[in-house]
Homo-oligomer: A and B are copies of this chain.
């Protein structure tokens, strides 16, 4: 293909390396697959020549015959939150270290793109797929995925119908929120807080419903009245507006849980800069996630922490174990949460 001075350069092929090294194509292939048998000196020679010629095995061709693309698909919402960006980031670094490349796919949160997206994605033949949030229905995922291994991030909450299901159908990461939420509510009770509000995330998101339900459960166990819910969507802007409504239309609150840290920032800014209230003196604020900027001085947020590195390691473990043992029963990993106490409660 056009290589007469154009900008597109030809790639070296195994054949060329073989010729230069006076060996067969097969030997070149073997040189790049450590587990095969090849005289060490021959392997060295081939690898040296390959480097000279800038040759790397073509993964598309390799995938065709080996059935392994070394691609991991990650499905994220149309526009990523900070948490998701940070997770993509860490996941990519971890996967790259294991020889996988991450393939990014965007979808809408309303399931409208599900089938089209998944067919599209399947064409790339990823070895595994991580469905981050609730952008893709599990049933659809399984139906359309073909060869790939789906990993699901799941938020169980004690006593829900969900856990009554006969075991998971696919590998998943269970995120247990109870510990962190209990610690948070206990802390607030210690400060004699009476009225607690919850600024929600996207209503049908499982991350959101699980958080709200857990908060509700823990509060009930402690004999507290249920939280007032102000509708948000995980964004700064909606949380900001919801907080204004809560105080201008509603009856306010002594403490506010936000469904995520970014929402908590919106809550704090609305309280301080629009409503003229002090945080934490007048109103206490707690978030979920513990993203990188939660410790920034302007917010210094008390939050229920999900350990990102731990989460990424768990996901990578799930992927590798499944790939090494395709027929194993469904795997699960569990992740705990805990409260990180900073300046917005006190």
Contacts and interface: CB of A to CB of B under 8 A. Distances in A.
A185 to B, nearest CB: 26
A239 to B, nearest CB: 11
A10 interface: yes
Nearest to A106: B93
Interface string A93-112: 10010000111111000000
A208 interface: no
A171 B7 CA distance: 10
Contact of A7 (B8, B60, B125, B170): B170
Interface string A324-346: 00111010000000000000000
A322 interface: yes
Nearest to A102: B104
Nearest to A9: B146
Interface centre among A10, A59, A272 (most CB of B within 10 A): A59
A105 B105 CA distance: 15
Contact of A96 (B11, B106, B270, B327): B106
A7 B326 CA distance: 7
B79 A89 contact: yes
Contact of A149 (B8, B69, B70, B102): B8
A298 B265 contact: yes
Interface residues of A, number: 75
Q: Of residues A60, A69, A146, A270, which shows the largest number of chain B Cβ atoms within 10 Å of its Cβ?
A: A60
Nearest to A59: B123
B296 A6 contact: no
Interface string A57-94: 11111011001011100000011101001101100110
A265 B9 CA distance: 44
Contact of A327 (B8, B124, B147): B8
Interface in A15-41: none
Interface of A: 1-2, 5-12, 54, 56-61, 63-64, 67, 69-71, 78-80, 82, 85-86, 88-89, 92-93, 96, 101-106, 119-125, 143-147, 149, 170-171, 236, 240, 265-266, 268-270, 272-274, 293, 296-299, 322, 326-328, 330
